[in-house]
Amino acid sequence: MYVPPHFSVPGKETLTRLLPEASFALLVSTGEDGAPVASHLPFSYDEDRGEYGTLIAHMARANPHGKLLEKGQALVIFQGPHAYISPSYYATNVNVPTWNYVAVHAYGMPSIIEDREKVRTVLDQLTMDNEKGTAQPWSADQLDQKRLDGLMRGIIAFEIPIDRLEGKAKLGQNKSAEDQAGVEAAIGKIY
């Protein structure tokens, strides 16, 4: 990701701040033919496992992307708030249209989780992260064991210990205070 110094933000802190709203991310791997392969997946983040934390997720076993997981480094792209910025929002008139946004790129080597109890832990963590705040949180315990076993056989659970994080917040930091105030008055704060 191209990150000019004035748009650089700490990756770990920015990812933590974006979650859970930005937990549906894009997993990108390199295919056997060298072409990128991408899957949109929900992720959980354990910021305490490793220097930059560890991501956990799962995908359908039928997804061909699963065969690539342990064959090379992966990139997970988290997109935070974003907004189109019209030149009419600025106080000065030397500007062009642009986009303000926050994003985090996480890099690491995926590893597949085979242990049944650990797969269940992945499912429980993802569910708990997404059920937070609901009046009656759902749990996999509500499923018949036979059904749960079948569903678990149909997925590939994996984790990605993060070895590099890049954070970017392009929010007009390179603009004058007057221009920044004009954008905030037009759209509000996005981050």
Distance CA 167, CA 1 (A): 9
* Longest CA span, the chain: 65
Strands (E), 94-176: 98-108, 111-113, 155-170
Among the listed residues 47, 45, 43, the one whose alpha carbon sits nearest the alpha carbon of residue 24? 43
**Whole-number pLDDT of residue 94:** 87
Ranges 57-61, 139-143, 156-160: which has the least confidence: 139-143
- CATH topology assigned to domain 5-114+156-186: Pnp Oxidase; Chain A (2.30.110)
Domains in the chain: boundaries: 5-114+156-186
The residue whose two tokens read 């770990």 is 12
Calculate mean pLDDT across residues 109-136.
95
Q: How confident is the model at residue 150 (pLDDT cuts 50, 70, 90)?
A: very high
Percent of the chain with pLDDT over 70: 100
Calculate mean pLDDT across residues 97-118.
97
Per-residue pLDDT at 20 exceeds 90: no
Average pLDDT, the chain: 95
Distance CA 145, CA 141 (A): 8
